[in-house]
Amino acid sequence: MSRLNSFVAGLGLAALLSTNAAFAADPESCKTVRLSDVGWTDIQATTGVASVLLTALGYEPEVIQLSVPVTYASLKNNDLDVFLGNWMPSMTNDIKDYAAEGSVETVSENLSGAGYGIVVPTYVADAGVKTLTDLGKFKDKFDGKIYGIEAGNDGNRIILDMIKDPATNLEGFELVESSEAGMLTQAEQSMKNNEWIAFLGWTPHPVMGAMDITYLDGMGDSGFGAATVHTNVRKGYMTECPNVGKFIANLKFNLDMEGELMDAILKGGDANTVATEWLKKHPDAITPWIAGVTTFDGGDAAAAVKTALGS
């Protein structure tokens, strides 16, 4: 081969290599995606969905079980990449210092309509019970009771503190502690009979998510109240790993979806297996999550997911 032909062939090879490199969606350092699982069923569900899709896209998700405080310390120290479970406002104190210094970034709201706190049936809210202090105005109709779950639960502790606080107008109320199942049975029976009841609620939840209930306002800084869930990443992650960052930011869930996934997980299902089966049944849900996203090596995301799910 002549020197000219060798030179041209070399240019062709260089161009081919350059073209292939350009198709890489993210650098190799982004292939492993480290996500926190803090042990809550809703976060197990959403992290399971993310993990299944990340695997389909050619990434390697690594789910690490951590407490909330360790999650934020790990994000700050670059030992973790993604956390899908930033419940607000109840986690304001957990994240505020990290957010202020910029070591943890919030990239999206992944769930709205969530909540944690004292709830009443919507027909009770419509009758005038909209805030915490409104409960005391109708003490007799509630039989002076607020229903909680098992003794020692943090939600129960907040309610007990509220009862002790004169500003809440709950003097004379008692907390009825029970199991989650026992509380829900009481709530369902009361609502069936159109009776007034106040109880500890949270959504997403496979049972409470289907109830026509209203979260009371006026919870102050207790952490109770209407909630949204946000996605956090470590500082600089979106710039370092733009493709997977785009996917993570695209993730948006809803109460019905999470309730369905949680129900299956609570019945003993593995989070990734449950997520896989749900995704197979709801392929249209995937489309907005992979919009503007490629596989790790720059390929067609939709085709890769379809192949991985066997659909």
The CATH code of the domain that includes 83 is 3.40.190.10
The CATH code of the domain that includes 124 is 3.40.190.100
Q: Residue 138's pLDDT is what?
A: 97
The pLDDT of 259-275, averaged and rounded, is: 94
Residue 221 shares a structural domain with residue 79: no
Q: Residue 223's pLDDT is what?
A: 67
Residue 124 shares a structural domain with residue 254: no
| pLDDT greater at residue 3 or residue 136 | 136
The pTM (predicted TM-score) of the whole model is: 0.74
- Each residue's pLDDT tens digit, 214-229: 989 887 777 687 789 9
| pLDDT greater at residue 155 or residue 274 | 274
Q: Which of 208, 226, 244 is the last residue of a domain?
A: 226
Residue 119 shares a structural domain with residue 217: yes
Q: Residue 2's pLDDT is what?
A: 42
Decide if 191 is inside a domain. Answer: yes
The pLDDT of 9-35, averaged and rounded, is: 65
Burial of 207 by CB count in 10 Å (0-12 exposed, 13-18 middle, 19+ buried)? middle
Residue 176 shares a structural domain with residue 132: yes
Determine what percent of the chain is predicted with pLDDT higher than 90.
Answer: 69
Q: Which of 226, 241, 268 is the last residue of a domain?
A: 226
Residue 119 shares a structural domain with residue 147: yes
Residue 60: C-alpha distances to residues 40, 231, 295 (Å)? 22, 19, 12
Q: Residue 114's pLDDT is what?
A: 86
DSSP calls for 2-20: -HHHHHHHHHHHHHHHHHH
Lowest mean pLDDT across 47-51, 86-90, 285-289 = 86-90
Residue 161 shares a structural domain with residue 297: no
Decide if 79 is inside a domain. Answer: yes
The pLDDT of 72-89, averaged and rounded, is: 95
- Each residue's pLDDT tens digit, 191-200: 999 999 999 9
The pLDDT of 145-172, averaged and rounded, is: 88
The pLDDT of 70-83, averaged and rounded, is: 97
Residue 40 shares a structural domain with residue 58: yes
Q: Residue 16's pLDDT is what?
A: 38
Decide if 9 is inside a domain. Answer: no
Q: Residue 11's pLDDT is what?
A: 41
What's the domain range around 205?
114-226
What count of Cα atoms within 13 Å lies in the side-chain half-sphere of residue 86? Answer: 24
Q: At residue 84, does pLDDT exceed 70? A: yes
Decide if 16 is inside a domain. Answer: no
Q: Residue 150's pLDDT is what?
A: 78
Q: Residue 15's pLDDT is what?
A: 39
Q: At residue 18, does pLDDT exceed 50? A: no
The pLDDT of 147-157, averaged and rounded, is: 79
Q: Residue 153's pLDDT is what?
A: 67
Q: At residue 305, does pLDDT exceed 50? A: yes
Q: At residue 6, does pLDDT exceed 60? A: no
- Cβ neighbours around 288 below 10 Å, total: 11
Q: Residue 115's pLDDT is what?
A: 82
Lowest mean pLDDT across 153-162, 230-239, 283-292 = 153-162
- Over the chain, what is the mean pLDDT? 89
The pLDDT of 236-258, averaged and rounded, is: 96
Q: Which residues pair with 162 in a beta bridge?
A: none
The pLDDT of 82-93, averaged and rounded, is: 86
Residue 133 shares a structural domain with residue 256: no
Q: Residue 8's pLDDT is what?
A: 40
Residue 145 shares a structural domain with residue 167: yes
- Domain count along the chain: 2
Decide if 127 is inside a domain. Answer: yes
Q: What phi, psi does 174 have (nearest 5°)?
A: -125, 150
First-to-last C-alpha distance (Å) of the chain? 49
105 Cβ contact partners less than 8 Å away, ≥ 6 residues apart:
99, 232, 233, 234, 235, 237, 238
Distance CA 303, CA 103 (A): 35
Decide if 47 is inside a domain. Answer: yes
Decide if 19 is inside a domain. Answer: no
Q: Residue 88's pLDDT is what?
A: 85
Residue 71 shares a structural domain with residue 130: no
Decide if 15 is inside a domain. Answer: no
Q: At residue 23, does pLDDT exceed 70? A: no
Q: At residue 24, does pLDDT exceed 70? A: no
Residue 215 shares a structural domain with residue 136: yes
Q: Residue 254's pLDDT is what?
A: 92
Q: Which of 171, 200, 226 is the last residue of a domain?
A: 226
**Pick from 47, 60, 97: which is nearest to 241 by CA?**
60
Residue 128 shares a structural domain with residue 166: yes
